[in-house]
Amino acid sequence: MNDLTWKYVKELKNENLIENFEIENLVKLPFNLVECIKKYNGGRPNRKIFDTEISKERVFKSLLSYNHEDLETVYLALEILKNEGQKLIPIASDPSGNYICYNPEKKYIELWLHETNTSEKISDNFDSFLNSLYED
């Protein structure tokens, strides 16, 4: 994660936004994910290509924002996932309407595909996901 750089970061309007989200949704996000959101809320990494266990060369668009007034928020993404019967916690979006998610049951990172309402495992944890990002 050290050599990743982020653009278009949206400063968190309130430090309690992440904690409030966890309380409202009865979830505890991994420490490293919370730290990344605090620093790079809504940001886009310089390396954005990743592979899942099934597909190659997927694209990480941006972290979802915890600011309610931003365009792509964790709240809107979570509503979409809940409406599809998913218990995943969205972290980031891709350019195709899919979400990179934290699976609170299995504790790993996966890609949720909106067209099929299925998901593909990306990595065992958030750090290994960030470390797996590469340039096209």
Residue 93 is assigned to a structural domain of this protein: yes
Single-letter residue type at 125: N
Q: Please give the structure tokens belonging to residue 24.
A: 């409202």
Residue 101 is assigned to a structural domain of this protein: yes
- Quote the CA–CA distance of 55 and 77 in Å, as a whole number: 22
Residues of the chain with pLDDT under 50: 1
Residue 1 is assigned to a structural domain of this protein: no
Whichever domain contains 84, its CATH number is 3.40.1580.10
pTM for this entry: 0.95
Residue 28 is assigned to a structural domain of this protein: yes
Structural domains of the chain, count: 1
What does R_g of the chain's alpha carbons equal in angstroms? Answer: 14
Residue 105 is assigned to a structural domain of this protein: yes
- Quote the CA–CA distance of 76 and 30 in Å, as a whole number: 21
CB-CB contact of 53 with 79 (8 Å): no
Q: Please give the structure tokens belonging to residue 16.
A: 């309690």
Phi and psi at 39, nearest 5°, equal -85, -35
- Quote the CA–CA distance of 81 and 68 in Å, as a whole number: 17
Q: Looking at residue 1, what is its pLDDT? A: 43
Half-sphere exposure of 35 (CA within 13 A, CB side): 8
Q: Looking at residue 2, what is its pLDDT? A: 54
Domain ranges, residue 106: 6-132
- Quote the CA–CA distance of 93 and 99 in Å, as a whole number: 5
Residue 39 is assigned to a structural domain of this protein: yes
